[in-house]
Structure 1
């Protein structure tokens, strides 16, 4: 069985080909360079670049997987959530291929794809507790069995990745700001600047608007007082607070739901400190499986959509 999966929800256009549960190719067209001069993703530019790039992504994915298009059994694509224009381009490519090949077409959810991206290299043992951290989403999900998605906590305002990018922009760091803050934070003193943990309550929901506002106010205050901003220390202090906010709720969920597997997914899961803290929590509570995805599967990619598609097909059979 061969699956051709398409992911186009934001500023990456990706096509992956899977044969019998094994990823053969995962080609990604990234637009970071084009969007960086604007300090963030420009939706119309993203969809226009998808139109320009999808043909070579498809050609390269087929070539790398050594698969002929007519051999494909299923076509799948990300239908939601995401930028409307970007999603439409992916949908049109998928529909065209499905009509041409007369093959089944399957719609996939982007966040569920991220979750099953962690299942590619190391398979889940259920129940699974998932921390979803990206530029647009911050959630805790519980899967008691395959494809049994339950959102038990979510951000009430900004996503953690969005918070990173906005603070980085004010600090003059180029988009995307998350990796740059992470790199600078490794050299800084995380206790120099005090920042608040928002929504420190009994729920599993998050809030990052308070941290964003407090960080921006601190930067403005230091500038107004002509005080030197020690950028490494500020990045370290910000990152410490952001990660503590995440882990405070996630650790509480681990204690309540007692999962067999924990995993962290989404673009921000590439953050070195989050990955380190995640293993600490897993070992502290003797979790049997601690899955941190391969870097290739952290950012938006079609392999995660192929894996999710494969899981639906297996369950249907």
Structure 2
């Protein structure tokens, strides 16, 4: 079974082909350099760049896969959630390919794809407890099967990735700021600055607007007092507060749902401290099937959508 998948939900346009669970190609056109000058993704620009880059992505992916396009059995694409203009471009490209090849086409969920991105080099044993962390989402999901997803907790406002990027911008760091803060945090003292653990309650829900506000206010206060900000220490203190909320809530979810698999998904799952928390919790609760996705499958990519489709159809 060969599946061609397209992912275009935000600022990456990607095409992947999977053959009975094996990824043959996963070509990604990233727009980070174009959006960097604006400090974040500009939706209209993202959609226009998808139109500009889609031709070479398709051409390169087909060449790398070394298959005849007539062999493809299904066409899938990201239908939701995402930037509406970017989603429309991906849908139209997928519909055009499906019409040309006369193959069935199916729209899939972006977040479900992220979760199965972690399973590209692993196998899920159900139920799966997945910690979804990205620029737009922070949620805990129980996966009972490739077609049964249960959200048990989600963010009430800012997502963790959005919080990282906005704090990084105020610190004067480049976009995307999340990976930069993570790198700095590994060199700093997390006890230097006091920041609140966001929504540290017994629920499974998250809220990062308070931590964002507290961090930005602290930066402004230090600047007003002409006190130098020790970047590595500030990054470490911020990251400790942000990830502690995940650690506390995820541990309670493990105790309540007794998963057979523990994993993380989404762009922020590449964060070193989040990966450390996932692996340590898996060891603490003897969840042998604990793993985190490879870095190339953390951010948006079509391989994760291809894997999701394969598991659903299989």
Question: TM-score with structure 1 length normalisation?
Answer: 0.98
**Aligned residues of 1:126 and 1:146 also touching (Cα < 8 A):** no
Question: 1:199-278 alignment to 2 at 5 Å?
Answer: 199-278=199-278
Corresponding residue SS for 2:145: coil
CA distance in 2, matches of 1:135, 1:190: 23
Deviations 1:104-148 (A, max 9, x none): 001010000001111111000111100000000000000233321
Correspondence for 1:95: 95
CA distance in 2, matches of 1:174, 1:45: 19
Question: TM-score with structure 2 length normalisation?
Answer: 0.99
Question: 1:97-246 alignment to 2 at 5 Å?
Answer: 97-246=97-246
Correspondence for 2:289: 289
**Aligned residues of 1:14 and 1:28 also touching (Cα < 8 A):** yes
What is the total number of aligned residue pairs between the two structures? 314
Point out where structure 1 has 5 or more consecutive residues left out of the alignment.
none
| 1:23 maps to 2:16 | no
Measure how far apart 1:313 and its partner are. Answer: 1.0
CA distance in 2, matches of 1:157, 1:215: 16
Corresponding residue SS for 1:126: coil
Question: 1:39-118 alignment to 2 at 5 Å?
Answer: 39-118=39-118
Deviations 1:6-53 (A, max 9, x none): 000000000000111110000000000000010000000000000000
CA distance in 2, matches of 1:116, 1:47: 25
Point out where structure 2 has 5 or more consecutive residues left out of the alignment.
none
Measure how far apart 1:280 and its partner are. Answer: 0.8
**Aligned residues of 2:198 and 2:241 also touching (Cα < 8 A):** no
**Aligned residues of 1:9 and 1:78 also touching (Cα < 8 A):** yes
Task: Tell me how large the CA RMSD over aligned residues is.
Answer: 0.8
**Aligned residues of 1:194 and 1:237 also touching (Cα < 8 A):** yes
